[in-house]
Structure 1
Amino acid sequence: MTTMTTPTPPNQNAKKTILFLGATGGVALSALRRSLAAGHTCIALCRTPANLTAQLDHTTWSNLHIIQGDAHDASTLHACLRTPATEDGKEGGRVVDTIVSSLGAKPTWKGISDAHVCEKGMVALLEALRRRRAEDGDGDGDGDAARGKKVVVPRLVAVTSTGISDVARDVPLPLMMLYRALLHTPHADKKAMEGLAVAAGKAGEVEWTFVRGSLYTNGPETEGLVRVGVEDPVKGVVEKEAMGYTISREDVGKWVFEECLEGDGRQWVGKAAILTY
């Protein structure tokens, strides 16, 4: 007999444990810095930790836990999904509250470094979550669910891109032409990633939010310039339109922190947020 589990909503004022994938990139790095400063426990999975420590003084933050490994390896991700023990001796081991995934391929002289980096990362993450869920118990006689406890369903904040919607065009036509000419492969990868997350959401494995920025830049954060559109990819409805050309990675990371990490963020569950200037 299978017992249905229900998500346990986080306390809006409680400190969270957040797993960052792709933390050396601009969006995740921006959100990571802000999360550390706010006192949240942050786990950063990095293939090359030096790439992160070169941008972030890890000795300053006792709430930062850097793990070396590959985001395409389900076993590594499985270990990262457990909260670390605290300095005051409290035992860790429960599932993390939120996962921020900002994986992406790098352009090379031969083309995109990995045409399926996002899709493979999502496959591995969902496999790791399933293993973690099986350990906690899913109503089969073992674990928390079988003992009547609520099993936490983690939040997933996945950074993707505009120009991949099946519902409506969310970028100006000139930019759409550029996307189709130069970014078809990485956009197909992000679209595949989103599809996997939506399916996992329907199965009750994760609560997802997609953050679709327009053309990303390395500009600074701004005040009052970011416009936010809202799409429901499951219902196929655009709830609020926002169409533009660019957005800085710093501003996207700031929005992720303020809207999805620092607060409750439930209004963004099952939604795609379109961020642009």
Structure 2
Amino acid sequence: MSDKSNSTIAIFGATGGCANATLVRSLLAGYDVSALARTPAKLTSQLLAQGLPQETLDQHLTIVQGDATNVEDVKRALLLDGKLVSFIVSGLGGKPVLQKSLRTPVTLDNPHIGAIYAETFLNALREICAENPSAAATKPLLAYVSTTGISNGPEDVPFWFRFLYHIVLAVPHVDKRKMESIFMSHMAQPEASERLLRGVVGVRASLLTGGIDYKSGKGWKTLRVGTEEKPAVGYTIARADVGEWIFEEVVKEDGGEWVGNSVTLTS
């Protein structure tokens, strides 16, 4: 179990529902958090609207204004008080965009955002370690939000959703696959000294529902959890529940049995 007095967290995609829910629960539990945001005022408004006291934000939250595809901005978000954070949570993803195409009706506003971010993130970590090895004495644990429907193992999408996932959402899922591949390939390096992370937890969530409200879920203990080899198959899951699961299982329990796995989450 992680010690919040010694553990710090960096959040990417903090204005999205999953990462936002992890952020809220981390702040309420007393963890010090760094969050990268293009528009800090938007993130602050979201947190205050959910009932977080301004005092909590002032004491435990550092908002770094910047872009997740910019190495220097990511580096600033990964450092708190001159030290590399203990945990990194990424809920970053593009916004779906409809297009006139029978084969690929849905794309993203940036179809390559996940892959670009993953490369940027690793480059930022690499530079931090090279510039200040003492700041990176402890390697962080990464949890990233992905999706079902891209498994190399048994089918993890219900039969009635397969057309939606494998045809309609094909373009967004290509980016998710590339993002996952970049992170997992990095962790597959045979020499531990070359890995910039102490571990990775991939979170493949079912179709996401709900918005920005950390109280809107059914509760993380109600979720069904599986792995790529033995997936939990379901239709939907609340963003709030995904964020709470990441906080409870990754942040509080240091990833536990899920480190190194692509975890399927569904209601």
Category of TM-score, reference length = shorter chain: 0.7 to 0.9
Cα distance between partner residues in 2 of 1:199 and 1:272 = 13
Cα contact 2:21–2:244 (8 A) shared by 1: yes
Paired residue type of 1:29 = N
Residue 229, structure 1, aligned to residue 226, structure 2: yes
Tell me which residue corresponds to 2:104.
none
Cα contact 2:115–2:176 (8 A) shared by 1: yes
Mapping 1:1-277, distance limit 5 Å: 12-15=2-5, 16-57=7-48, 59-60=54-55, 61=57, 62-83=59-80, 92-110=81-99, 111-137=107-133, 151-203=137-189, 204-206=195-197, 207-218=199-210, 220-223=216-219, 224-231=221-228, 238=229, 240-277=230-267
TM-score by length of 1: 0.82
Q: How far apart are residue 109 of structure 1 and its match?
A: 4.9
Deviations 1:171-219 (A, max 9, x none): 1122121112221111110110000001221232222110110000007
Q: Which runs of 4+ in 1 moved over 3 A?
A: 108-111
Cα distance between partner residues in 1 of 2:38 and 2:4 = 30
Paired residue type of 1:24 = T
Cα contact 1:104–1:117 (8 A) shared by 2: yes
- Structure exhibiting the larger radius of gyration computed from Cα positions: 1
Please list every run of 5 or more consecutive structure 2 residues that lacks an aligned counterpart in the other structure: 100-106, 190-194
Aligned partner of residue 70 in structure 1, secondary structure:
coil
Cα contact 2:201–2:255 (8 A) shared by 1: no
Cα distance between partner residues in 2 of 1:163 and 1:79 = 34
Please list every run of 5 or more consecutive structure 1 residues that lacks an aligned counterpart in the other structure: 1-10, 84-91, 138-142, 145-149, 232-237
Deviations 1:224-249 (A, max 9, x none): 53100023xxxxxx1x3310110010
Larger relative helix fraction: 2
Give the share of equivalent positions with the same residue, in percent.
Answer: 40
Cα distance between partner residues in 2 of 1:196 and 1:95 = 21
Paired residue type of 1:71 = A
Paired residue type of 1:183 = L
